[in-house]
Amino acid sequence: MKRKKNGTDLSDIGTTQLHIKHDVQVEKLESGLARAKVRDQLVIDTYLFEDKITVGQHAEAERLLELAQKAGVFLRSIDMGAVIGGNGKGDLANTGFIRWRYAINGIKRNHGVEGVEVVQDCIVENKRLGEDRLELLIKVLSRE
């Protein structure tokens, strides 16, 4: 990361460790600043760049990841404003969790428990899969 006080050469291109660990694309913004964009932040991103999954399968994986996030699968701190006075978003059980349940039940119906497990391992927990399990993930993401 390089910064000058006068603001004429301000950039955020990431650390050396970031560039070693990830595929980083440095882009120049309209303002003339440089910004680093991590292209393989998730395992599903890596599979896309390795041509193991298609763009459509990647979009389905991102949809499942968003459903999991909205269902509260990932730990987060409590919104104290919502606890005290409510925030008008509705009950979690009636919104994100139900959609996640429908998606998981559909996967289980079509691909069994193993299909749910590959989604859990790869998409939710961000773990790489072996070739046999990757084939199942591809079927799940293709909605076959």
Chain segment 110-126, per-residue pLDDT in tens? 999 999 999 999 999 99
Taking only the tens place, the pLDDT of each residue in 92-102 is 555 788 898 99
Does residue 87 sit in the same domain as residue 124?
yes
Q: What's the whole-number mean pLDDT along residues 45-66?
A: 91
Dist. CA 140–CA 26, nearest whole Å: 33
Lowest-pLDDT choice from 35-49, 71-85, 88-102: 71-85
Q: What is the pLDDT of residue 24?
A: 64
Whole-number mean pLDDT of the chain?
78
- Are 27 and 61 within one domain? no
Q: Within 13 Å of residue 70, how many CA atoms lie on the same side as its CB? A: 18
What does the pLDDT read at residue 115?
94
Range of the domain at 54: 43-141
Q: Are the C-beta atoms of 29 and 18 separated by less than 8 Å?
A: no
Higher pLDDT, 29 or 9: 29
72 and 128 in a single domain? The answer is yes
Could you tell me how many residues make up the chain? 144
Number of domains within the chain: 2
For residue 16, pLDDT beyond 60 = yes
13 and 84 within one domain: no
DSSP string over 22-87 = S-EEEEE-TTS-EEEEES-SSHHHHHHHTTSS-HHHHHHHHHHHHHHHHHT-S-----HHHHHH--
Same domain, 9 and 67: no
| Residue 40, CB-side half-sphere exposure with 13 Å CA sphere | 16
